[in-house]
A and B are shown apart, each in its own frame.
Chain A
Amino acid sequence: AQSVTQLGSHVSVSEGALVLLRCNYSSSVPPYLFWYVQYPNQGLQLLLKYTTGATLVKGINGFEAEFKKSETSFHLTKPSAHMSDAAEYFCAASSSGGYQKVTFGTGTKLQVIP
């Protein structure tokens, strides 16, 4: 069974600083990996996903993530934080092939300090 671990339930960065949100997965085979963002009082939105191919994946709003099989990691980064990035971020994983169950991490709340 899949499991997803997000290190740090709360992360604070200064506006303009690097954003790094950590995610590790546990799987016997490389899964499909996702990052979702949830703004207050809204549903989750897909930021980016990794399925196969290039291990560095670019998403919306300047975010990107790199799949590292050797480290079983899929950390989310953004070079320069913006106030509008303040939200909760969820890492998720699923097995490959169609309507597979998606397993979520516990989420990381990102605070951006002016």
Chain B
Amino acid sequence: SAVISQKPSRDICQRGTSLTIQCQVDSQVTMMFWYRQQPGQSLTLIATANQGSEATYESGFVIDKFPISRPNLTFSTLTVSNMSPEDSSIYLCSVSRDIDSGANVLTFGAGSRLTVL
């Protein structure tokens, strides 16, 4: 299965600043997904990123706040813009590991833990 590297693994940021999270996959993948993991809450899908097209955002997430780039089949970035303490969370990159049996099995990076002061 694919190996996913995320950077940074953690960061402490000031309110009002922006931070870009990088996700590198060791093989070419069609679809990449960005999730947010908040304490006590389920993983929430932010957006789906396909190479060569605009990312598709879930309800409650907008491109101005979470711009995503997908320049090639092995790399994506998520920017958290104009951060507030409410954005403190773990952000996870994932890819579809395979579609055997028609199931979307996901592989995840280790996550990027952001704390906004």
Interfacial residues, chain A to chain B (CB-CB below 8 A): 4, 9, 32, 34, 36, 41-46, 49, 51-52, 90, 94, 96-107
Contacts and interface: CB of A to CB of B under 8 A. Distances in A.
8 contacts: A9-B40, A36-B108, A41-B9, A90-B43, A97-B102, A102-B45, A102-B104, A104-B44
A97 B99 CA distance: 9
B4 interface: yes
B97 interface: yes
Interface in B36-62: 40-45, 48, 58
B105 interface: yes
B42 A105 contact: yes
A99 to B, nearest CB: 5
A22 B35 CA distance: 23
A107 B10 CA distance: 21
B19 interface: no
A43 B99 contact: no
Nearest to A98: B99
Given A43-B108, A104-B43, A107-B42, A94 B103 contact: yes
A45 B96 CA distance: 12
User: Which A-B residue pairs are the 8 nearest by beta carbons?
Assistant: A43-B108, A51-B101, A104-B43, A44-B108, A104-B42, A106-B42, A32-B103, A43-B110
A96 B43 CA distance: 20
A23 B67 CA distance: 33
